[in-house]
Amino acid sequence: MNSSSLIARIHRRLPAPAQALPFVMALESARRAGWLQPPSALDGHAFLLVVEDLGLDLRFRCAGGVFRTGPFDPEPAPALTLRARAADYLQLLAGHADTDTLFFQRRLSICGDTALGLEVKYWLDATPRPAWVEPWVARLAVLFPEVRAA
């Protein structure tokens, strides 16, 4: 069993609130530190971030400018769904690739509310990355050879 399938098996067995908790805690920590401020257009919307190669479905929302886990019911559908492989999310996080590049290379899928998708795209591309992000992504790249090759 490879590490990706192990992560997916563990993820599926976790209660829904625990599945997205580490991701949401990271988003919220970055927001509180002033590194990641969500635009007001995200407020009141639910999102689904899918990490395809790891089998992760991370449900979260933005409420009052704060990131929170959930909603966990399949209905209503999230306003926006992002799908990519872990290596592509890491490239986006480090600023090595932008959303347009990943989207047009079919490595990032954005489904749902078009206007909200554009807001998220502009926000992700314009957000400055703190100096520690690139070395942190480089350490994680050991797990994803595609990132090292980029």
Share of the chain above pLDDT 70, in %: 92
Angstrom distance (rounded) from CA 110 to CA 59:
15
Evaluate whether residue 141 is within a structural domain. no
Is 85 a residue whose pLDDT tops 90? yes
Here the tokens at position 119 are 């807001």
- The residue type of 69 is T
Evaluate whether residue 92 is within a structural domain. no
Is 100 a residue whose pLDDT tops 60? yes
Domain extent, residue 116, equals 3-87+97-130
Evaluate whether residue 8 is within a structural domain. yes
Q: Please write down the long-range contacts of 2-11, taking CB distance under 8 Å and 24 or more positions apart.
A: 3/143, 4/53, 4/54, 4/55, 5/55, 7/54, 7/55, 7/56, 8/54, 8/55, 8/56, 9/55, 11/54, 11/55, 11/56, 11/57
Is 68 a residue whose pLDDT tops 50? yes
User: What pLDDT is stored for residue 92 in this prediction?
Assistant: 93
Angstrom distance (rounded) from CA 60 to CA 66:
10
Is 38 a residue whose pLDDT tops 90? yes
CATH code of residue 82: 3.30.1050.10
Number of domains in the chain: 1
Evaluate whether residue 137 is within a structural domain. no
How does residue 149 score in pLDDT terms, banded at 50, 70 and 90? Answer: very low
Q: What is the mean pLDDT of the chain?
A: 89
Residues in the chain, how many? Answer: 150
Evaluate whether residue 143 is within a structural domain. no
